[in-house]
A and B are shown apart, each in its own frame.
Chain A
Amino acid sequence: EVQLVESGGGLVQPGGSLRLSCVVSGVTFTTKWMSWVRQAPGKGLEWVVHVSPDGSETKYVDSAKGRFIISRDNAKSSFYVQMNSLRVEDTAVYYCVEWGQFDNYWGQGTLVTVSS
């Protein structure tokens, strides 16, 4: 069974930082592109960042550039996003997403709330 388990969400003040983690099991993690996709309360989906299987290629949506840093540890089948200088508009459920050629899996999401 494939599982993606996110953690690290919570309440943080504007300007603060959080680190989200995702542990993946049931797939060959080292061959998968991984992404964080977020969903603001009552809103649609927004792709935030993704990382290649070996970690050499990363892409960020403009609003995350310079503030978010994605990384992965293939030995631990885990990947992360360090989120700095958080803004109220970053409030969302953050989903960890695995992209295979013929499969696609989402975690249950972790809620990040940026509020004073």
Chain B
Amino acid sequence: DVVMTQSPLSLPVTLGQPASISCRSSQSLVYTDGNIFLHWFQQRPGQSPRRLIYQVSNRDSGVPDRFSGSGSGTDFTLKISRVEAEDVGVYYCMQYRHWPHTFGQGTKLEIK
């Protein structure tokens, strides 16, 4: 199975400051057509997960533009330009290039 490794696993951030989460896959996520099959999800406390970013860098509808995704091949990053209180939760990367589709362990973002 493709292993998705996130870092850090815990991310204390001051309100208004930037945050960055890294995700590394054990195999390339590039498909034959050049698309890269990597999503990012947010799970707020007590809620279902919500997708933020699809195919590395595309924001889902309604996602604030302070969230951005980047990366290629096996290394990916989710960035929050200015953390707000509503961003508290756990963030997961997920690959769907290879079966079984796999998630990272999750990064817990909290406010300092």
Contacts and interface: CB of A to CB of B under 8 A. Distances in A.
B105 A59 contact: no
Interface in A53-109: 59, 61-62, 95, 102-104, 106-109
B67 interface: no
A32 B38 CA distance: 18
A37 B43 CA distance: 13
A36 to B, nearest CB: 12
Contacts, number: 42
A59 B51 CA distance: 21
A47 B48 contact: no
A74 to B, nearest CB: 22
A106 B103 contact: no
B49 A106 contact: yes
Interface of A: 37, 44-47, 50, 59, 61-62, 95, 102-104, 106-109
